[in-house]
Amino acid sequence: MAISAKLRWKRYLGELRFVHDELGFIKEICGDAGQDFQTHYEDFCIRNNIDLKDLNKQHSQKLQDLYNKKTSQPTEQNPQLDSNTECALIPHESVSQENVNSASEEGRPQQFSEYEMTRDEAEIHESFNKIFRKLAMILHPDKLSQDLTGTEREEKLKMFKEAKSALEERRYFVLLDMAQQFSIALPRNYKQQIRWMKKEIESLSGKVSKEKETYNYLFSECETEEEKDRIVKRFMRQIFGPQIFENIA
């Protein structure tokens, strides 16, 4: 039974690493696509004699409500506001306004001060907190040998910061990798960890799906100029209404 549990644990650990990395890649793609989408959007408006600056002014309140921004005026460029922020990842039409407004709430369960953990989560967090304390005995600045070179010291300080961040953000697989690197015994509460990993995988997979429904990601998948124009039109219909294209062929 113990062997079977460990094998399942390894499988879910691998799946958790994969979906976490996938979310990072998708967010990076969306971030990179933001400026390209903005540029194409502005070019589309110029080609079709659409006064984007005037549109932004007319729909100022709607733009602020949509992105939950407390700015007095929208930018004169793209209603995406800032292509480097999460709010720039405009929701696909199929995403409801309620989901848009609630998106900012997603991170709260990871903030332990604002979220009451389940018994499983609390016990798992404590088991990995023990790993972190053991890592700190090796990596904490006060514990480093004076014989280390500057490069070695910098590397270990970087690892310590990463371990601390991993614990706070519940990226426990990072702590597992470090523990193995320094031959620190791993917690054997496999079934408990599996239950937690299943929930985390489901949560991260949901976030991946939402990122893939954003206009930035949809734009990044376009192969032709015509496809890019269709995404821009869809975006503008959602923001400004279908009447925006009444006079456009």
Flag whether pLDDT at 21 surpasses 70: yes
The pLDDT assigned to 111 comes to: 44
Alpha-carbon gap, residue 158 to 169, rounded angstroms: 16
Higher pLDDT, 214 or 85: 214
State the helix-helix crossing angle for 190-212 and 119-139, rounded to 10 degrees.
90
The DSSP line for 214-242 is BHHHHHHT--SHHHHHHHHHHHHHHHH-G
| Phi (first) and psi of residue 224, to 5 degrees | -125, 165
Alpha-carbon gap, residue 60 to 15, rounded angstroms: 43
pLDDT one-digit tens code per residue, 128-165: 999 999 999 999 999 999 899 999 999 999 999 999 99
The DSSP line for 98-156 is HHHHHGGGTTGGG-GGGS---HHHHHHHHHHHHHHHHHHHHHSGGGS-TTS-HHHHHHH
How many other CB atoms sit within 10 Å of the CB of residue 112?
A: 13
What Cα–Cα distance (Å) separates residue 163 from each residue in 16, 19, 123, 166, 188? Answer: 17, 20, 18, 5, 20
Domain positions in the chain:
25-104+208-245
Alpha-carbon gap, residue 2 to 152, rounded angstroms: 38
The pLDDT assigned to 59 comes to: 82
Tokens linked to 69: 């921004």
91: helix, strand or coil: strand
Alpha-carbon gap, residue 98 to 102, rounded angstroms: 6
Count of alpha carbons within 13 angstroms of residue 156, beta-carbon side: 19
Q: Do residues 89 and 104 lie in contact, with contact meaning Cβ atoms separated by under 8 Å?
A: no
37: exposed, middle or buried (Cβ count in 10 Å: 0-12, 13-18, 19+): buried
How much of the chain exceeds pLDDT 70, in percent?
77
pLDDT one-digit tens code per residue, 86-120: 334 455 444 343 443 333 334 334 444 455 667 77
Higher pLDDT, 131 or 187: 131
The pLDDT assigned to 119 comes to: 78
